Structure 1
Amino acid sequence: MGNTVFPHPTPSFPIWGCRSALRAIKVQSSLYRFLLVATALQLPLPTSRMTRHGKNCTAGAVYTYHEKKKDTAASGYGTQNIRLSRDAVKDFDCCCLSLQPCHDPVVTPDGYLYEREAILEYILHQKKEIARQMKAYEKQRGARREEQKELQRAAMKDQVRGFLEKEAAIVSRPLNPFTPKTTSGNGPDDTQPGPSTGATGKDKDKALPSFWIPSLTPEAKATKLEKPSRTVTCPMSGKPLRMSDLTPVRFTLLDDSVDRVGLITRSERYVCAVTRDSLSNATPCAVLRPSGAVVTLECVEKLIRKDMVDPVNGEKLTDRDIIVLQRGGTGFAGSGVKLQAEKSRPVMQA
């Protein structure tokens, strides 16, 4: 019986997939017993490959970059960046305030296009806001003047009080240092009971700031208003803007028979006033100040700059009369327009 050799059974299927179960069997038995147990158990093979968990690890000891980005987006902390698509880009003939196609367009010296009604309403609103800020500034300035006058009056009262106290403390007869002081006398050197601090303590308790209110903390001070500027600025460039700086713009329609409602739905609405080339965000354009006509920059460089004459009304042109129109871009990175939006938020310290 001891010399009997048992034949080695050959499994009819691959059993090397279930590594965890086979590893436990290998440790406790020999190769022969391992083959017998594996054949008897008929271990199933995995039907699909296991997925990666590198971006979904919840037991790792390291706070990964992916987890930081995911937590930042979900928590509302940290600066957010987003790449703008074509849907977020303004068309070249749309107002910079209303983002709608202009019906009565005007352009600033920097080339920003506005609807006349929208930009005039903005200028009036800015003038009212400047007047309100100036009124608040003058009110604060008057309050500070009154506070300084009150401090000066209080200082003067302290000086007068100190002078009177010194005058009342003058003694006409010499004092005997060996004579004990009496408490029942009416002399100037007699000790008098001081004022009670009960009322003062109560007033001090009322004046104590509440530490849980930010505006009443000991370090909190009244906000000092700066003198507001009386200049109305452009909402896009931030430069000074006046109503006289606005230049009317006259686009040349691609099809004169189309009404305004049907014109909005078209992607190509206007053409160059000289070459009749179609205008779009991909076409650099310029506005001629004397006539308000919109032409392409190619037309300006090849035709208009030779004679510096407006081809629409024949007036002389200067470099200041050629206003390069600010366009929204095409959505591609090479269009020359910033397509990266950034929003600053509180930073989460990890």
Structure 2
Amino acid sequence: MATVPVSQLKPGEKMSENVQTKRGNTLFYKGKVMTERDIEILKAFLIPTVSIESKTEQESAKEAATEETGSAVSPFFEEYDKMLALLKRVFISASGQNPPILEIRTQLEALIQHIEQYRILTFTPRMFQLHDYVYHNSIMVSLTSYSLAKWHGLPARDLMPVALAGLLHDIGNTKVDQGILYKPNKLTVEETEEMKQHTVIGYNMLKNVTAINEGVKLSALQHHEREDGSGYPMGIKGDKIHLYSKIVAIADIFHAMTSARYHKKGASPYLVLDQLFNESFGKLDPSLVQTFIKKVTQFHNGVLVKLSDNRIGEIVFSDRTHPTRPWVNVNGQIINLTIERSLYIQDVIQK
């Protein structure tokens, strides 16, 4: 064990003791491996020194963990990576035609067994590459759709079909011009219309697959439809949109907006939640949106967040009538985001 100034701390070094704030809250636990962002947090909380494991200790711990588990990767990420590889193969090898549903479902079930490790607001895939966006988005939409369906009280028999609906909702993109999908700037009107055809293409690819139900198939077609009829491809209204499609739509919007793409950076999850709330007045199912926002913002006090002015603080109170705008303690100053409307939570750092 060694005590080092935070100014000399390097990414990859491991904490040998808990790190606490001046208010007595635990900032990082023993065993935490530091990242650049973690070091930034330590500096923001004016932590002068920390205790880290020596290189010998870290190597011994790593060897022990490898011997015990055979891998340093968590079971969730192991199954996630398997799902990613399978989805790539399904989407690319046969352009998504006649997907091997049993194999897909089996791997999805293996991943969902570890869903307790999935945190919607803070999750980031390992080794994310922009050209793999469509695959990562499909998996995240699947996991989020499953979670939302469960939170909203759908019967157990619907949960895996909803997850499959999320996983396959964009399968039509396999037959859309890749130059359009990965274009680094705004699409032309013609390109936008071609891109919209992925909904019809996806439905046609799935409509004769007997191993999935109609809700899964319709989610490929309807995930861009909106309650007021302003969506596409058919412009149908709320009572004509399948429940699975409504769930997948919310998950898809959230991840599309918070993820980095070739043409944009990912937006703050809290800003996206605010937009989802606004969209629930006419465009999205309001009860589903309410459930989603309530559940993903159910944090305990002490959660670390970065504000839009780059200050870092701890959530100390959440007003359930304004779930995206809690009170945040920044070095002893309480900032009520329901009043300070010019500020918002840019990032959730640690839950």
**TM-score, reference length from structure 2:** 0.20
Q: Quick one: higher RCO (CA 8 Å, sep 6+), 1 or 2?
A: 1
Q: As a proportion of its length, which structure holds more helix? A: 2
